[in-house]
Chains A and B, each alone.
Chain A
Amino acid sequence: MEIIIKNQGTETLVELVGRLDTLASQEITPQMTGLQDKADGVIILDCKKLEYISSSGLRLFLTLRKAAAVKGGKVIVRSISPEIRNVFMMTGFLNLFQVED
């Protein structure tokens, strides 16, 4: 699992690569927590290369989304695979995030 964070002015682009399973989620928790500092702006979670997500990964997404709600920012989930979209649908996450292609 890899997380690549690029700051682009008021936007933060976060590229997630690989499998976000329980172990990987624990490994990238510091970076995801650090992103809360940027939660007053726009955070784009680029999931083009994200192959898999478990509930621990969903928890990281939701924690960031909650921080954005408090700080008045925005979290955009971009380019999820049909499989991950299905997980978002089952869990109601499609209603919590702005999901775009």
Chain B
Amino acid sequence: MNSAKNDTSPLKITLRGDIRQIPRLEDYVAELASRSGMDPSLALSVNLALEEAVTNVLLYAYPKGQDAVADIEAFASKGSVRIILSDSGVPFDPTKADTADTSLGVEERPIGGLGIFLVRQIMDSVEYRYEGGKNILTMTKNF
């Protein structure tokens, strides 16, 4: 897919608009997996974490009527990936979001709130900073 000059350059993708571009993440993560040596099973988990973080940006970061843009840059090395997601939407720190109570029963269990929870469950570290008018989320997975 992306014609990077070599494997040490970051792998980039930009998703614009709404969630219709979400399926593009599948090929993107496959490329990341081949560069880093992630097995297919772990690649599915990383795909999931990334999709949840990006969906959050595309659906909620921008005021209605404004075009949503999610920039993704990933660095792969053997046994590790670092993914940096940035957007120019309203400041929001997902690392401070409420965590899901997974012990609740069917009736009490809220319908939503699992997206960010999954990001934090899957990735080894999730760091947020707001800089130059951008939300910057750095997610790392070692394997």
Which residues of chain A have C-beta atoms less than 8 A from B107's C-beta? 66, 69
Alpha-carbon distance A3/B118, docked complex (angstroms): 25
Which residues of chain A have C-beta atoms less than 8 A from B51's C-beta? 21-22, 54
Contact with A along B15-31 (1 / 0, CB 8 A): 00001101101100000
Identify the stretch in A28-36, A39-47, A87-95 within 8 Å (CB) of chain B at 4 or more residues: A87-95
Contact A83–B106 (Cβ < 8 Å) = no
Which residues of chain B have C-beta atoms less than 8 A from A9's C-beta? none
Contact residue range for chain B? Answer: 20 to 34
Contact A56–B55 (Cβ < 8 Å) = yes
B129 within 8 A of A: no
B80 within 8 A of A: no
Determine how close the nearest CB of chain A comes to the CB of B10; give it in whole angstroms.
Answer: 24
- Which residue of the partner chain, among A24, A54, A65, A66, contacts B48 with CB atoms under 8 Å? A54
A58 within 8 A of B: yes
A19 within 8 A of B: yes
Alpha-carbon distance A91/B22, docked complex (angstroms): 22
- Which residue of the partner chain, among A22, A62, A69, contacts B111 with CB atoms under 8 Å? A62
Alpha-carbon distance A19/B54, docked complex (angstroms): 17
Q: How many residues of A contact B (CB 8 A)?
A: 27
Q: Within B39-73, which residues are at the interface with A (CB < 8 Å)?
A: 41, 44-45, 47-48, 51-52, 55
Q: Residue on A with the closest CB to B116?
A: A55
Residues of A bordering B, CB below 8 Å: 19, 21-24, 26, 51-52, 54-56, 58-59, 62-63, 65-66, 69, 82-83, 86-87, 90-92, 95-96
Given known contacts A22-B22, A62-B106, A92-B100, what 19 new A-B pairs fall within 8 Å (CB)? A21-B22, A22-B51, A22-B55, A23-B19, A23-B23, A26-B19, A54-B51, A54-B52, A55-B55, A55-B118, A56-B55, A62-B109, A66-B107, A69-B107, A90-B118, A91-B100, A91-B117, A95-B102, A96-B109
